[in-house]
Structure 1
Amino acid sequence: MEHEDSRTTTVVFQQLQPYTDEISDWSKVVIAYEPVWAIGTNKVATTEQAQEVHPAIHSWLSKDRASYTNKPMGGPYKLR
Structure 2
Amino acid sequence: MSVPSAPPSRAAQGAGQRLYRLVDQYGDPHPVLDDLYDSLEAAWSEALSWWRDHFGPEQSAIGIGVEVSTASGDWRTLRHPGV
Q: TM-score, normalised by structure 2?
A: 0.33
Q: Which has the larger radius of gyration?
A: 1
Structure (1 or 2) with the greater strand fraction = 2
Higher helix share: 1
Higher relative contact order (CA 8 A, sep 6+): 1
Q: What's the TM-score, normalizing by structure 1?
A: 0.34
